[in-house]
Amino acid sequence: MTTMYSNHNPNPQDLITVVNLSQIDRWFVHQRLQELMINSWCPTSGELLVEINNLTDAILVHSIVKQFVAPRKELVDWLERCWQMEVFPKYNH
């Protein structure tokens, strides 16, 4: 089992299991989650366990996993929508 913090014992109700990832994709997702300081584990059973502590963690996990499971067209459409999104509303002065 690979872990970010060896002495960390997560609350089981804060864990989610990510499925439908190849072994290499699971490792890439795990590495990215570690970079973002989100606890995750790759046990020998072949699943990816992720500790979700807040909404931001959930959004980040969703976004990272989506990069590996979504069809390319869906990812391109998603990126184009992000580019077109207005972050700050325009004001008429």
Cα angle 42, 5, 56; round to 5: 80
Q: Which residues pair with 40 in a beta bridge?
A: 50
CA–CA separation, 26 vs 24, rounded Å? 5
Domains along the chain with CATH numbers? 12-84 (3.30.70)
The pLDDT of residue 85: 81
* Region at 82 (left for phi over 0; alpha for psi -120 to 50; beta for the rest): alpha
Q: Tens place of pLDDT for every residue, the chain, 93 residues?
A: 444 444 566 666 667 787 778 999 999 999 999 999 999 998 888 889 999 999 999 999 999 999 999 999 999 998 999 888 877 766 666
CA–CA separation, 39 vs 51, rounded Å? 5
